[in-house]
Copies of this chain bind each other. A is one copy, B any other.
Amino acid sequence: MNDTRPIRAKSGTNHEGTSAHNRRVMMDALRMNGPLSRADLARATKLTKQTVSNIIDELEQDGLVTAQEAIRKGRGQPSTPFRLVPEGAFAIGLQIDRHVSRAIAVDLVGNVLTRAEANLPPGGPSRGAAVILKLIDKVRRELAGLVAQSEGRLVGLGAAMPGPFGVEVTGDDPWMMAAWQKFPLLETLATGTGLGVRLQNDAAACATAERMVGAAHGLDHAVCLYLGYGIGAGLILGGELYSGAHGNAGEIGMALLSASGSPTPLEHRASLASLYQHLAIDPADPGVYAMVNELTLNNDARINSWIEEAVMDLRWSVHLIESIFDPQTVILCGGAPEALARRLVEAMHPLSPSIADRRHRVIPRFQLGMTDPWAVALGAAADPISRAFDPSFAAILKDSP
């Protein structure tokens, strides 16, 4: 019996896993509910007062939470609410887009401290990598200037770029995304910055941002429809970001709009790329965002006709997402100019009847999320924070670090 096949198994856990989880649960409770007393935390987490006291002491010593003024609220000893300390941790987020890269520094609660962007030189990573590293360094030094000892509290670097990953790019590739795909980005960033690095696609990053500080805050099942140069979905399933087997979950842009005839990917119709084509403008022009915004505000006829078309496809997408994921809400977020995004969300009503038409619904089926060119970078930065502090199955297991 030459038994060399690897044994596959989930990892076990031990006391430290327990403790790590409980710490995360405390932080999560404070993030979701605002300041809470130790007694509140004990009730909410089903741990004992004593355990909570010990953990809160630890977190306070680590500079992650702090006590507020005691509150009298009836009989009994006044309670001492604790809250998260924003300066308790920082993370850097990096967005690599087709012709621009953005870096951002955020704190524990998602405040943006500093940010910077740079145009990416043509030619892909061969020259772009250096630009990116410089950009990260700039943001990092600015952060260090703003906050003493920020370096020691940097929990990681999150990167986001358009997906899909691990697939040969076929067809035209004006922005050298194929080259970026092949480039050892994670290694370059890790060695270049000395930080832990993770990569996700831009839709997933947006979902992470919406979950930390946006419309998906506190929701365990939400889908973010990211309308950017392409279109994708970021999936919050069961309280965690879902990435699929190869990090490509949510690539709804590839979904085909009909089963027969000449199948058109959603992306060819509902995406900024299709809008640019419709308007016959150059997407590489740095002024497109403002231009589209203004055209939208001016009720431009070509924009309107595109919206009319796109809305049909977006309604279809929302219906599809609701049927397949059964989420609490669908959020439109990401790279579209704000005025356009608003118009789209308005124009979507009425939505197609779906399984999501529930009688006692309180959260809207479809809503507008962040419309900010920085949303992806913010989400990229939110990822390391989330990995470091949010409760998750993986964090309990022994093989996570």
Contact = CB atoms under 8 A, between A and B. Distances in A.
B248 A326 contact: yes
A7 to B, nearest CB: 4
Interface in A199-255: 218, 220-221, 233, 237-240, 242-255
A218 to B, nearest CB: 7
How many copies altogether? 2
A242 B324 CA distance: 11
B245 A326 contact: yes
A12 interface: yes
Contacts of A220: 245
Given A251-B323, A323-B251, A326-B244, A46 B8 contact: no
A243 B326 CA distance: 8
Interface residues of A, number: 87
Interface string A362-396: 00000000000000000000000000000111001
A277 interface: no
B29 A7 contact: yes
A260 B41 contact: no
B36 A7 contact: yes
Given A9-B25, A11-B45, A245 B259 contact: no
B32 A9 contact: yes
A28 to B, nearest CB: 6
A12 B56 CA distance: 13
Given A316-B259, A326-B248, A12 B21 contact: yes
A255 B316 CA distance: 8
Nearest to A258: B258
Nearest to A314: B259
Contact of A164 (B11, B312, B355, B399): B355
Contact of A45 (B10, B164, B243): B10
Contact of A251 (B11, B238, B313, B355): B355
A17 interface: yes
A43 interface: yes
A185 B327 CA distance: 24
Contacts of A313: 259-260
Q: Which of A51, A256, A266 has the most chain B CB within a 10 Å cutoff? A: A256
A328 interface: yes
B244 A325 contact: yes
A22 interface: yes
A12 B320 CA distance: 35
Given A316-B256, A355-B254, A326 B246 contact: yes
A71 B11 contact: no
Given A244-B326, A245-B220, A258 B257 contact: yes
Contacts of A7: 29, 33, 36, 40, 43-44
Contact of A73 (B3, B269, B315, B399): B3
A263 interface: yes
A236 to B, nearest CB: 11
21 contacts: A7-B44, A9-B33, A10-B239, A12-B45, A12-B46, A13-B22, A13-B396, A14-B18, A14-B47, A45-B398, A46-B398, A167-B357, A220-B245, A238-B242, A246-B326, A250-B324, A254-B323, A255-B319, A255-B323, A393-B396, A396-B396
Given A258-B316, A324-B324, 10 more contacts: A7-B44, A9-B28, A11-B46, A13-B22, A47-B398, A238-B238, A245-B326, A248-B355, A251-B355, A263-B352
